[in-house]
Amino acid sequence: MKDRIDFLVLRVVEDVRLNWPAITGGILAGALCMVLIGGVFLTSWSLRRAFPGWLLDGGAAAYVLPGVSLERQNELAAEIAGWPEIDSVRIVSAEEAWRRLQRNFDDWKDVFRGFPNSPLPASIEARFKPSASDWTAKEPVLNKMRRLPEIEEVAPEGDIYAPLGSFLSVVRWARAGMLVLAALALASIVFSVMGQAVAARRDELAAYHCVGATRAFIGAPYYVEGVLQGAASALVAFCVLFAVIVAAGISHSSPLNILLSWRLSDSLLLFGWLLGWGIGLGCLGAWFALRRIFG
Please count the residues of the chain: 295
Q: Which domains does the chain have, with CATH numbers?
A: 2-51+165-294 (no CATH), 57-158 (3.30.70.3040)
Q: In this predicted structure, what is the pLDDT of residue 258?
A: 45
- Mean pLDDT, the chain, rounded, equals 76
Condensed to tens digits (0 to 9), the pLDDT of residues 217-263 reads: 777 788 888 888 889 999 999 998 888 877 766 544 444 444 445 56
Q: In this predicted structure, what is the pLDDT of residue 160?
A: 44
Residue 224 or 58, more confident: 224
Condensed to tens digits (0 to 9), the pLDDT of residues 24-44 reads: 888 888 888 888 888 877 777
How far apart are the C-alpha atoms of 271 and 262, rounded to whole Å?
13
Q: In this predicted structure, what is the pLDDT of residue 55?
A: 47
